[in-house]
Amino acid sequence: MAPKLWIFILLSIYFIFGFPVISAHRNEDVPSNKIMEDFSGYPVLEPHFQDSLSSLLVDSESLQKQIDELSTFSDTPAPSVTRILYSEKDVLARRFIKNLMGLSGLSVREDAVGNIFGRWDGYEPELAPVSTGSHIDAIPYSGKYDGVVGVLGAIEAINVLKRHGFKPKRSLEVIMFTSEEPTRFGISCLGSRLLAGSGELAELLKRTVDNQNISFLDAARFAGYANHLEDLTSVFLKKGSYSAFIELHIEQGPILEEEATSIGVVTAIAAPASIKVDFEGNGGHAGAVLMPVRNDAGLAAAELALAVEKLCILELHPGAINSIPSKSHLEIDTRDIDEERRNVVIEKIHQSAISISKNRGVKLSEFKIVNQDPPALAEDFITKATESACQELNLTYKKMISRAYHDSLFMARISPMGMIFIPCYKGYSHKPEEFAAIEDIANGIRVLALTLAKLSFS
């Protein structure tokens, strides 16, 4: 079927079935405005604070429907989700998000690479806003919760506050980041890196192409962005544009579920550094060349892999049983929340690679550190606000670090940052089995809503 026809059918389905689900929010009357002291009494707790909090209710049914509906904008069949940057499905999903933001009464704006912002003006709109958000792109055959919980959850957190009659002092802003996953152009956290002012990336994107040789700029234009624009520095945000940024996310690890803890309060995000290593030997026929005179690039790589024993990808060339590998390629992932310690590890790996290449008579033709992002620490006043939100909502929580990358890592460059984790099934992520219970998501949203409320007054 022609792609246009598909879009038409999908849009029709969307308009017929999509709207009744989401418009449920719109009809809810917003109670008369309350100021913060009426609402939560932060930082001073008022007597009626506790009663008030138990009515911070999440509309779980609508939320689950939104999560399910968003997952249908996918290039692979359910339960898997595949949503690649600037694809037709990505464009439809973006429309879905903007529509939800509009229904929640947020004013929506997009920048040149399609970071989407939905703002709820506070009563002191000249103050730097508090922001929250995540991503909705999904690597091939992944699940429907990674990132999505932090975008749909952020919009629902706004709804929770609005239904409660809350009026923010600082404006609150929901952000949907463009391309957290590196799937199409090999660049992770593309949107948030640019927001954080990466001049290097703004330059690189002018000549970046995908594996079909489609340029980043053409792909962005296909999706309706970057029109008449080569210079992407318009996306940069000044440091201080936000007073705080906080991201809600599934843990992508098993700890919260195993310990039956509702909330993870993230104190730091470990930063990965990837290393690419190439060894070259002479190759030859495996039968004819005797062991002692071989320079086996494959064994050199294997030895390095054992020396490292970290996440490691290994490719051999030629990959045939009867030939001695003449080339090998390794990709090593190292991560730590302490940048110095991580860099010491990288240096040790480099030394091992050099001595292995000498011992085995192969050439170390490349040792390249592909990216080396610094780790980021969460800001104290944000983790404190989240902790007291958990306490006031009677939810169990623990402080933890994030081993995975997030847009928050880059937002930390321009804003104080924090993250809220919720449990997910067996820690699964990036696969169709990824699952988070709606009760856990709702808990995360209530904590997010209360944290936003507090930060709006800090």
Ligand X SMILES: *[C@@H]1O[C@H](CO)[C@@H](O)[C@H](O)[C@H]1NC(C)=O
Closer CB to ligand X, residue 53 or residue 187? Answer: 53
Nearest in space to 87 (alpha carbons), one of 203, 229, 212, 207: 212
Residue 393: name its binding partner from Zn ion, ligand X, none (Cβ under 5 to 8 Å by kind).
Answer: ligand X
Site for ligand X in 271-290 (CB under 6 A): none
Q: Which of 27, 32, 213, 322 binds ligand X (CB under 6 A)?
A: 213
Residue 147: name its binding partner from ligand X, Zn ion, none (Cβ under 5 to 8 Å by kind).
Answer: Zn ion
Q: Does 53 bind ligand X (CB under 6 A)?
A: yes
Q: Does 54 bind ligand X (CB under 6 A)?
A: yes
Residue 253: name its binding partner from Zn ion, ligand X, none (Cβ under 5 to 8 Å by kind).
Answer: none
Q: Does 393 bind ligand X (CB under 6 A)?
A: yes
H or E stretch covering 330: strand 327-336
Q: In whole angstroms, how close is the CB of 208 to ligand X at the nearest point? A: 12
Sign of CA dihedral 64, 448, 189, 347: negative
Residue 233: name its binding partner from Zn ion, ligand X, none (Cβ under 5 to 8 Å by kind).
Answer: none
Q: Which stretch binds Zn ion (CB under 5 A): 97-105, 142-150, 156-164, 254-262?
A: 142-150
Residue 213: name its binding partner from Zn ion, ligand X, none (Cβ under 5 to 8 Å by kind).
Answer: ligand X
Q: How far apart are CA 198 and CA 192, in angstroms?
A: 9
Residue 338 CA: distances (Å) to CA of 253, 272, 377, 401: 20, 11, 10, 12
Q: For residue 306, what are the contacts with CB-CB under 8 A and spacing of at least 6? A: none
- In sequence order, the β-bridge partners of residue 176 are 116, 134
Q: In whole angstroms, how close is the CB of 149 to Zn ion at the nearest point? A: 9
- Residue pair 272/335 in contact by the 8 Å Cβ criterion: yes
Closer CB to Zn ion, residue 18 or residue 375? Answer: 375
Q: Which stretch binds Zn ion (CB under 5 A): 50-58, 138-146, 166-174, 234-242?
A: 138-146
Residue 59: name its binding partner from ligand X, Zn ion, none (Cβ under 5 to 8 Å by kind).
Answer: none
Query: What single-letter amino acid sits at 200?
Result: E
Q: Does 211 bind ligand X (CB under 6 A)?
A: no
Residue 146: name its binding partner from ligand X, Zn ion, none (Cβ under 5 to 8 Å by kind).
Answer: Zn ion
Nearest in space to 95 (alpha carbons), one of 119, 69, 120: 69
Q: In whole angstroms, how close is the CB of 135 to Zn ion at the nearest point? A: 6
- Residue pair 130/381 in contact by the 8 Å Cβ criterion: no
Q: In whole angstroms, how close is the CB of 405 to Zn ion at the nearest point? A: 8
Distance of CA 268 to the CA centre of its chain: 15
Around Cβ 300, how many Cβ atoms within 10 Å?
A: 26
Q: For residue 359, what are the contacts with CB-CB under 8 A and spacing of at least 6? A: none
Tokens of 247: 């991201």
Around Cβ 2, how many Cβ atoms within 10 Å?
A: 7
Q: Which of 18, 147, 191, 283 binds Zn ion (CB under 5 A)?
A: 147
Stretch 228-257: interaction string toward Zn ion, x if CB under 5 A = ------------------------------
Around Cβ 310, how many Cβ atoms within 10 Å?
A: 13
Q: In whole angstroms, how close is the CB of 207 to ligand X at the nearest point? A: 10
Q: Does 450 bind ligand X (CB under 6 A)?
A: no
Q: Which stretch binds ligand X (CB under 6 A): 40-48, 50-58, 82-90, 341-349?
A: 50-58
Query: What single-letter amino acid sits at 265?
Result: V
Residue 323: name its binding partner from ligand X, Zn ion, none (Cβ under 5 to 8 Å by kind).
Answer: none
Distance of CA 297 to the CA centre of its chain: 36
- Residue pair 247/419 in contact by the 8 Å Cβ criterion: yes
Q: Does 233 bind ligand X (CB under 6 A)?
A: no
Tokens of 269: 């995000």
Residue 54: name its binding partner from Zn ion, ligand X, none (Cβ under 5 to 8 Å by kind).
Answer: ligand X
Q: Does 394 bind ligand X (CB under 6 A)?
A: yes
H or E stretch covering 334: strand 327-336
Q: In whole angstroms, how close is the CB of 174 to ligand X at the nearest point? A: 24
Which of 46-50's residues contact partners 24+ apart within 8 Å by CB, and which partners? 49/392, 50/392
Residues that bind ligand X (CB under 6 A): 50, 53-54, 213, 393-394
Residues that bind Zn ion (CB under 5 A): 146-147
